[in-house]
Structure 1
Amino acid sequence: MTDHYYTAEPTTAHDEHTFEFNLLAHDLRFTTDAGVFSKSTVDYGTRTMLETFDSENIPEGKILDLGAGYGPVAISLAKALPNRQFVAAEINHRAAELIKRNAQANHVADQIEVVQSDRYENVPDRFAAILVNPPVRAGKDIVQTMISQAKEHLLPEGTLTVVLQKKQGAPSAKKLMEETFGNAQTIAKDKGYYIMESVNVD
C-alpha cells in the first residue's frame, strides 16, 4: 500500500533529497524524503502564500504553520522574522523529523517548536497567525476542520491564511471562512491558486 503525505507513520522506503531554494529573500537548504508533500521543490501555492502573507498587521505572539510538511513556511518566516516564535504542526512523523533537521540546517531551530499533530490535536497556545496549505488529498472533512477550528486557536485580531487552487475548492473554503469568522477576502490569485485570509475580530 502506498503511503500518502498525510500518513502519520509512513513506511515507504526512504529516499532523501536535499535542495536549495530562495524564499523571502533568504537562501535556504531543505532535506526532503519519500512520503512527504512536495518532496522535489517548494510548491507554487506555498510560495505564493508566503509572498502574500502580511506579517506586519498581526498581533504579538507565535505563528502556527499547520500541516507544515518539511518546514518551508515556518523556516522561511523565521528567517524573515527573527523576533517571532513559531509552531510547526505536522501529522506525518517523517516530515516532522525533517522540520527539526531543516530548522537546524537553516539556523532557526531556537525559533521553531515542532509538534506531531493531527490538525490542532496537539497544538498548544493561541496564535497571532495561522498559515495553512491544506492536504486536499486527505479529504474535504480534514480541510474543513483545519479552517473551522482555527478561530479557537487565534488571538484577537489574529489571521488565518489559506492557499487552495480554485479547482480544489477555494470558493467553498472561502465561504466556510466567512461563516466561521464573519469575514474572508481573497488577497491574491496566481496560476489558479487563491490566497484567502480571515481575521479573528471577536
Structure 2
Amino acid sequence: MEKMANYYYSEQPDVEHNKQYWSFELRGQTLQFASDNGVFSKRTVDYGTRVLLATFTAQVLPAGPLLDLGCGYGPIGLSLAKEMPQRQIDMVDVNELAMSLARENAQRNQIENATIFQSNVYEHVTAQYAAILTNPPVRAGKAVVTAMLTEAKAHLLPGGELWVVLQKKQGAPSAQKNMQATFGNAELVHKDKGYYILRSQLREQ
C-alpha cells in the first residue's frame, strides 16, 4: 500500500522525482506544463478537469478575482488566467511540490495575473471571489471535500459561484446536497462519463 506521505494532497510528498514536460489544449489555447511524481494526474490533464473547464462560463460572474482551490500543477487556474488577463487568479494547494510546479508553469506560459500560495482548504484564503473552481481531492476524505464545498460561501462575492467536478461514484450526489443546503441552490450543469459539474451561486438572502 502506498504510504500516506506520497499522496498528492500531502504537504511534502515523499517521492522520487521524475519531471515531465508536455503541452495540452484547454479552452482553445495550448499551455505548456511541467509535472512530477507526487502530484495528481502527472502525465496529462485529467478528464474531470477537462470537463470542468469545458463547461465553466464566466459570462454572468461579478467583477473580481477567481480561486482555483486545490490547484495541483495548475491546469484550471493557469488556463483561466491566460484566457482572462483582466482578472486576478489565486491558486492554492496544500502540496508544496504542486505549488512549485504551478509557479514554474505560470512562468512557462508567460502568465502574470496568477498568485500561487499554500493553503489547506481555506486556511490562508482571505479574499472574496467571483468564482471558486475545484476538482477536489477525493482521496483526502469526505471531511476535506465537504469543507471545500461548504466553506466556499464565506469566500464568494455576492453573485459569485462555486463550480465543482466530481464523479457520481465518488459522491457527486452527496456533494450536490451539501451545496444545496449551504447555498439554497445547486445546479447539475453537465454530466459526462460519470463526471458531474455542479454549480452554486451566492444569492442575496
* Normalised TM-score (structure 2): 0.97
Counterpart for residue 174 of structure 1: 176
The reply on whether 1:106 has 2:109 as its aligned counterpart is yes
Counterpart for residue 95 of structure 2: 92
Cα deviations across residues 148-196 of structure 1 (Å, max 9, x unaligned)? 1000000000000000000000000000000000001000000100000
Counterpart for residue 148 of structure 2: 146
Counterpart for residue 50 of structure 1: 53
Per the TM alignment, residue 124 of structure 1 is displaced from its structure 2 partner at its CA by: 2.5
**C-alpha RMSD of the superposition:** 0.7
Per the TM alignment, residue 11 of structure 1 is displaced from its structure 2 partner at its CA by: 1.8
Say whether the 8 Å CA contact 1:115–1:123 is kept in structure 2.
no
Gaps of 5+ in 2: none
Please give the secondary structure, in 2, of the residue aligned with 1:9. Answer: coil
Q: 2:76 aligns with which of 60, 73, 78?
A: 73
Q: 2:32 aligns with which of 26, 29, 44?
A: 29
Per the TM alignment, residue 82 of structure 1 is displaced from its structure 2 partner at its CA by: 1.5
Q: Distance in 2 between matches of 1:103 and 1:191?
A: 30
Counterpart for residue 134 of structure 2: 132
* Normalised TM-score (structure 1): 0.98
Q: Distance in 2 between matches of 1:25 and 1:145?
A: 32
Counterpart for residue 190 of structure 1: 192
Counterpart for residue 203 of structure 2: 201
Q: Distance in 2 between matches of 1:122 and 1:53?
A: 25
Return the letter of the residue paired with 1:191. Answer: K
Cα deviations across residues 82-107 of structure 1 (Å, max 9, x unaligned)? 21110000000000011100001001
Return the letter of the residue paired with 1:161. Answer: W
Superposition misfits of 4+ residues, deviation over 3 angstroms: none
Return the letter of the residue paired with 1:35. Answer: G
Q: Distance in 1 between matches of 2:12 and 2:125?
A: 18
Per the TM alignment, residue 128 of structure 1 is displaced from its structure 2 partner at its CA by: 0.4
Number of residue pairs matched?
201
Gaps of 5+ in 1: none
Say whether the 8 Å CA contact 1:154–1:200 is kept in structure 2.
yes
